[in-house]
Amino acid sequence: MEPLAYMLEISTCAILIFVSIVGNTCLFCSTRRCISGPLQPSFLLIFNLIFVHLLKNLVVNIMKIVYSSGVVLDSVGCKILRFTETLTTELAIWFMLHFAVLYCHKLYQIVHPSSETPNLSQPKRHLEAVFIFWITGFGICIPILAFTEKPQHLNAANGTGLLYTKGLHVGCKIDFGNQQVEYYYEKIFLILIDLLPLTTLVFVCFWIVFLLWEQRKLTYGGIWMGEDASEIEVFRGAKVSILLTLLITSLWISHFVFICFFKNLESYPFTPALLTALSSGFSAVSPYVLILVNYKVKLEAFCCRKTEKSTTQPTDVLSCPYAQ
């Protein structure tokens, strides 16, 4: 059964890597062509998501392919795998939460306009938040890099065996020298670091749904004065936040449930491939959701064009998603 498990793992990783590289490259190119001035917060978040997605696939999944091919798993490999896996998962969740909050705020301003002057320091605050996310993520994951070790009893045997029957969380063990500290850090702290932002993300999306319902009610109530191009893009960004929330939440919960509650499936050859698909699925699929945000799969989703200036409208209007 082991050769079949290795083949399935290699095939799954190869597919995820290819799909992720193509999707994130297209997303980067289409987003890059939308930029005509200062870097907007939405663009900043998308670029960070792209980097996180590529980091997960080009480090974690490539290393899995290497180990599946027969290379012995050592302590250095364990450290890199677990550190990168944990860091990229955390950052993807945090950036998605920031993305959803950003569009929830913009949507609220459209549905409930304010007479206050816009805060011009907002882009700087978003940049600072992104920087804080990276620093916090590294700080949280440093113990993984420092204390993750390969169990000693694997040194004399095939180093990849346990990795594929029980997964990274058992094949690469965090060893603080104190079981209670290990339990609180790995089983409680790291899980809460993901679970709390995910829970917040779900509530933010419920608020987005409520605001979209309010906007729809105003439209059909004859009160709404119409939508300009920037408002349409905000509605698209808000809707895609809901889709991405459903995707990342369902994948994370499924991965967590399989690891914690379906230990009887560890001996099956499809288990490693399934866990890999669940842990890396968001990094492979989400770029296509962002690209196809206009739902009509038109050329504008891939090639953002700036419309020509007209005599009645002196400002430039971007015909692409996330123009705000």
pLDDT in tens, 260-312: 776 666 667 778 888 899 999 999 999 998 887 644 434 343 444 444 444 34
Whether 138 maps to a domain, the answer reads: yes
pLDDT at 146 over 90: no
pLDDT at 201 over 90: yes
Half-sphere exposure (CA, 13 Å, Cβ side) for 103?
34
pLDDT value of position 54:
95
CA distance 288 to 295: 11
pLDDT value of position 5:
74
Whether 136 maps to a domain, the answer reads: yes
pLDDT band per the 50, 70, 90 thresholds, residue 55: very high
pLDDT, mean of residues 29-43: 77
pLDDT at 2 over 60: yes
pLDDT at 172 over 60: yes
Whether 264 maps to a domain, the answer reads: yes
Which position has the token pair 């490693």? 272
Q: How many domains does the chain have?
A: 1
pLDDT value of position 29:
86
Whether 320 maps to a domain, the answer reads: no
CA distance 5 to 98: 37
- Average pLDDT over the chain reads 78
Whether 35 maps to a domain, the answer reads: yes
Residue 55 vs residue 111, higher pLDDT: 55
CA distance 178 to 183: 9
**Containing domain of residue 227, as a range?**
2-112+122-301
Q: Which residues contact 20 (CB under 8 A, 6 or more apart)?
A: 53, 54, 56, 57, 280, 283, 284, 287
The helices-and-strands tally (H runs, E runs) of the chain is: 11, 2
Whether 256 maps to a domain, the answer reads: yes
pLDDT value of position 299:
38
Q: Are 27 and 295 in contact (CB under 8 A)?
A: no
pLDDT at 249 over 90: yes
CATH of the domain at 151: 1.20.1070.10
CA distance 54 to 254: 22
Whether 214 maps to a domain, the answer reads: yes
Whether 324 maps to a domain, the answer reads: no
pLDDT value of position 94:
95
pLDDT band per the 50, 70, 90 thresholds, residue 228: low
Please tell me whether the overall predicted TM-score, pTM, comes out greater than 0.85 for this model: no
